[in-house]
């Protein structure tokens, strides 16, 4: 019941596929990237296979096997292999459903009129190396990857929002602290003013009490105060 099988970076046996048999008849996706593969001659019959990844191997020919054993193939990736001539691709004409072919980093891509020649040889092709005959890019065939990127971007936005919220909370806390300090300063100011008023009130009361005394009594009181101060000075002199 296996529909997808990834064997990337595994070791092939003398450049051949080992362990892959017709028991995997339900396979729709098979990836064998960078396994030092020289040939696809050992590929089993896989009638349901749609996508085959064979990039970064050492395949130089023998592609007629694909037409025989993977007749319903729609996507084939041969990037980074040893394909040098356009004629090497001719067996792929027998894959009527082949819509996408990748040959990045193959020597064949260096030939003059490479793209025009391949589209002419394989008229069923829609995309070659990710672009159609009019140089229009193929749509992304990996929606799961897009979803992950979107989630990552949304995560960053959420993080930014969280940071903004934290900044606002910090600002609010600082404003609250400033308000508390201002309130304390105002209270201190009120207390100081009240104390000053009380002291001024006491002085005023004493002055008023002196004003209420008759002139003679007031003078007498002043003289008595002066006498007391003189007596204190004399006592200080005697002590010296």
Please say if the pLDDT value at position 186 is more than 80.
Answer: no
- Between CA 66 and CA 69 the distance in angstroms is 5
- Please answer whether residues 73 and 47 qualify as being in contact, where contact means their C-beta atoms are separated by less than 8 angstroms: no
CATH fold for the domain made of 4-128:
3.80.10
Helix (H) or strand (E) holding 127: strand 127-128
Task: Tell me if the pTM is above 0.75.
Answer: no
- Average pLDDT for the chain: 76
pLDDT band at 152 (very low <50, low <70, confident <90, very high): very low
Higher pLDDT pick, 240 / 111: 111
Q: What's the rounded Cα separation, in Å, for the pair 74 and 127?
A: 11
Q: Do the beta carbons of residue 105 and residue 82 sit within 8 Å?
A: no
Question: Residue 235 corresponds to which tokens in the numbers above?
Answer: 């006592």
- Range scoring the smallest mean pLDDT among 15-19, 29-33, 83-87, 217-221: 217-221
Query: Band of the pLDDT at 18, cuts 50, 70, 90?
Result: confident
pLDDT (average), residues 206-231 = 52
Whether 15 shows a pLDDT value over 60: the answer reads: yes
Tokens coding 128: 């070659």
Q: Is residue 164 pLDDT above 70, yes or no?
A: no
Copy the structure tokens of residue 208.
Answer: 């008023």
Tens of pLDDT along 32-70?
A: 999 999 999 889 999 999 999 999 999 999 999 999 999
């Amino acid at each position: 019941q296996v529909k997808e099988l990834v064997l990337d970076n595994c070791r092939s046996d003398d450049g051949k596929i080992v362990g892959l048999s017709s028991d995997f008849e339900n396979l729709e996706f098979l990836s064998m990237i960078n396994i030092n593969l020289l040939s696809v001659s050992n590929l089993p019959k896989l009638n349901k296979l749609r996508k085959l990844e064979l990039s970064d191997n050492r395949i130089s020919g023998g592609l007629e096997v694909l037409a025989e054993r993977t007749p319903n193939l729609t996507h084939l990736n041969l990037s980074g292999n040893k394909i040098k001539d356009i004629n090497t691709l001719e067996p792929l004409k027998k894959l009527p459903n082949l819509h996408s072919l990748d040959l990045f980093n193959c020597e064949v891509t260096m030939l003059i009129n490479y793209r025009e020649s391949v589209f002419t040889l394989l008229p069923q092709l829609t995309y070659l190396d990710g672009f159609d005959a009019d140089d229009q890019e193929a749509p992304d065939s990996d929606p799961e990857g897009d979803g992950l990127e979107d989630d990552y971007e949304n995560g960053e936005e959420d993080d930014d929002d969280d940071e903004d919220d934290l900044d606002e909370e910090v600002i609010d806390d600082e404003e609250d602290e400033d308000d508390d300090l201002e309130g304390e300063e105002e209270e201190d100011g009120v207390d100081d003013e009240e104390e000053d008023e009380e002291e001024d009130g006491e002085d005023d009361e004493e002055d008023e009490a002196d004003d209420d005394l008759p002139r003679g009594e007031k003078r007498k009181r002043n003289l008595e105060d002066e006498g007391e101060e003189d007596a204190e000075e004399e006592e200080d002199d005697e002590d010296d």
